[in-house]
Amino acid sequence: MFRILATSFDYRPRLGGVATLAHELLRALGGSHGVEVRLIAPRLPGGEGFDRGSGVATRRVPLPKAALAPVPLAASLGRELLTWRPDALLNLLWLPEGVASLLLAPLRAPLGIPYFVYGHGVELLESDLNLKKRVRSALSPAKRAVFRGARGVFVNSGFTRALVIRECRVPEARVRIAHPGVDPRAFFPEAPARDLLERYELRGKRVFLMVTRLEDYKGVDRAISALRWLKADFPEARLLVCGEGPDRARLESIARHYGVGELVVFAGAVPAGRLRDHYNLAEAFLLLSRSNFEAPNIEGFGIVFVEAAACGKPSIGGDSGGIPDAIGGPENGWLVDPYDDRAVAKAMREVLERPEEARARGEAARARATGELTWDRMAATLLETMRAGRSRGEA
């Protein structure tokens, strides 16, 4: 039995990319033959209720903010190391769990337990824009030490791989791409849900979908402004935006400014259980994230592209960060300049003018997602590396 002690500071019932990835990956790892997984996660409201049906053996511990959490987390991890004797530590973030693993070096070394760390992208960059970010920047040496000290580093995309190598000077051979995946049992094509067609007044409309937290770098603004170039020819085009966030008021103003307010539907936050229904309303999925290395804001991968693909939807993605990896190639969608709303509109126009081509790309995207990008495939990739690392025998 191969034992993995995992930690994820960002975990369900929180929403978002890292929390989703952590849960799905650990569930898949736990379901792998000959593998036992235990997870240490922060105590959160609703956490224990979630854990009961999550399929992951989870221990919740009270933790302060990330920068202060490594020490108490190390204490919890240390107890598990001594009592459970895992074969590997898997850290879903470098802070706090990666640092905790580093602090535990005196304990891990004699026990021969290596640690692995996953890199998502944005957390590898530093910024001095506000106090919180400055504090994180001050921990930069610890970050480099965590990545350099790991037996193996997993990353979500080629873009993030380059970041890890550049920012943390990790030897290339030790960094392995493990694309996040999708659960094909949860995301698959089906007919549009009638209640949603009514609720959003989308009957007879041609829908583009965005699923994203509403933040200024996500490119919802460019999707909105692109509509002005389509409005005259395709008055039935609609942009359905699922998600909430601090940028909503600005986006609504922009929609009014460009005279496309009536073409944009802000759906608000969508419960996880109805996400598939939303993907299935659309002809294409969009996410036009822009990289801002100063803020920093980047899209390390974009699991939503894979979820959309599993539902048979082609994607129009901003050519930045790890999005090219998430889309996979022109056969699955379109990569566009995320600053250029004319380029965005051009891709949207292709979907509208050539729906059969869009459908073909959607089918190719689905074949790739369900074939190459499942959580089981990701778990297998990680397991292969962790087992090999364990067999080398040193911490």
Partner 1 sequence: MCGIAGIFLGPGELAREEELGRMARAMRRRGPDAQGVHVTGAVGLAHRRLSIIDLSEGANQPLFNEDGRIAVVFNGEIYNFQELRGELERAGHRFATRSDTEIIVHGFEEWGIEAFDRFNGMFALALWDGREGRRELILARDPFGVKPLFYSITGGAGSRRLAFASELKPLLQLPWIGRELDRESVFQFLKFSHVPNPRSILKEVRQLRPGTWLRYSERGVEEGRLAIRAETARDHGASGEKESRDEASLLRELDRVLTESVRRQLVSDVPVGCFLSGGVDSSLLIAACGASGSAIETFSIGYREKEYDETGYARQVAEAFGTRHHELVAGPRDYIDLVPEVPEFFDQPFADPTLLSSVLLARFARERVKVALSGDGGDELFFGYPYQRALLHLWPVEALPGAARRALFGAAGRLLSGLGNLGARGRSLQQAMKLADILRFESQAELIQSFIGTVGPLPLARLAELVPGDFGLEGPYHGPLIESLAGLPRDQRITQVYLRTFLVDTVLAKTDRATMACGLEARVPFLDREMAAFAARVPFELKLRRGILKYLPRRLLAGKFRERGLPTDLAWRAKQGFSIPLREWLRTDLKYLVDEYLDEERLRREGLFAPKAVRGLVREHLQERANHSHLLWSLISFRMWKERHLS
Q: Tell me the CA distances in angstroms from 86 to 36, 78, 92, one per residue in order.
A: 9, 11, 16
Which residues face 208 on adjacent strands? 239, 284
Biggest CA-to-CA distance, the chain: 70
d(CA 95, CA 119): 11
Which CB, 144 or 213, lies closer to partner 1? 213
187 makes contact with partner 1 (CB under 8 A): no
Residue 382 CB, nearest distance to partner 1 (Å)? Answer: 36
254 makes contact with partner 1 (CB under 8 A): yes
Residue of 258, 279, 301, 334 that binds partner 1 (CB under 8 A):
258
Residue 298 CB, nearest distance to partner 1 (Å)? Answer: 13
Q: Tell me the CA distances in angstroms from 95 to 9, 44, 144, 321, one per residue in order.
A: 8, 18, 11, 21
Which CB, 200 or 339, lies closer to partner 1? 339
Residue of 36, 80, 216, 350 that binds partner 1 (CB under 8 A):
216
Which CB, 166 or 256, lies closer to partner 1? 256
Residue of 253, 262, 353, 392 that binds partner 1 (CB under 8 A):
253
User: Which of 103-111, 188-196, 205-213, 246-254 is the region at the interface with partner 1 (rule: CB under 8 A)?
Assistant: 246-254
Residue 220 CB, nearest distance to partner 1 (Å)? Answer: 12
Which parts of 322-351 interact with partner 1 (CB under 8 A)? Answer: 339
Contact 289, 213 (CB under 8 A): no
Burial of 274 (0-12, 13-18, 19+ CB in 10 A): middle
Total residues contacting partner 1 by CB under 8 A comes to 13
Which CB, 169 or 256, lies closer to partner 1? 256
Q: Is the dihedral of CA 21, 27, 32, 35 positive or negative?
A: positive
d(CA 386, CA 128): 35
**Cα 39 to chain center, whole Å?**
19
257 makes contact with partner 1 (CB under 8 A): yes
Crossing angle for the helix pair 158-168 and 140-149, to the nearest 10 degrees: 110
CA gyration radius for the chain? 21
Residue 336 CB, nearest distance to partner 1 (Å)? Answer: 14
User: Which of 35-43, 87-95, 163-171, 255-263 is the region at the interface with partner 1 (rule: CB under 8 A)?
Assistant: 255-263
User: Which of 189-197, 253-261, 343-351, 387-395 is the region at the interface with partner 1 (rule: CB under 8 A)?
Assistant: 253-261
User: Which of 129-137, 256-264, 350-358, 362-370 is the region at the interface with partner 1 (rule: CB under 8 A)?
Assistant: 256-264
User: How far apart are the two ends of the chain, measured CA to CA in Å?
Assistant: 19
User: Which of 22-30, 107-115, 206-214, 250-258 is the region at the interface with partner 1 (rule: CB under 8 A)?
Assistant: 250-258
Residue 285 CB, nearest distance to partner 1 (Å)? Answer: 24
String of DSSP letters for 251-283: HHHHHHHTT-GGGEEEEE---GGGHHHHHTT-S
221 makes contact with partner 1 (CB under 8 A): yes
Contact 312, 285 (CB under 8 A): no
Q: Which helix (H) or strand (E) holds 306?
A: helix 303-310
Residue of 256, 268, 384, 394 that binds partner 1 (CB under 8 A):
256
Number of H helices, E strands in the chain: 17, 13
Which CB, 153 or 287, lies closer to partner 1? 287
Residue of 49, 62, 112, 259 that binds partner 1 (CB under 8 A):
259
Binding site for partner 1 (CB under 8 A): 216, 221, 249-250, 253-254, 256-259, 290, 292, 339
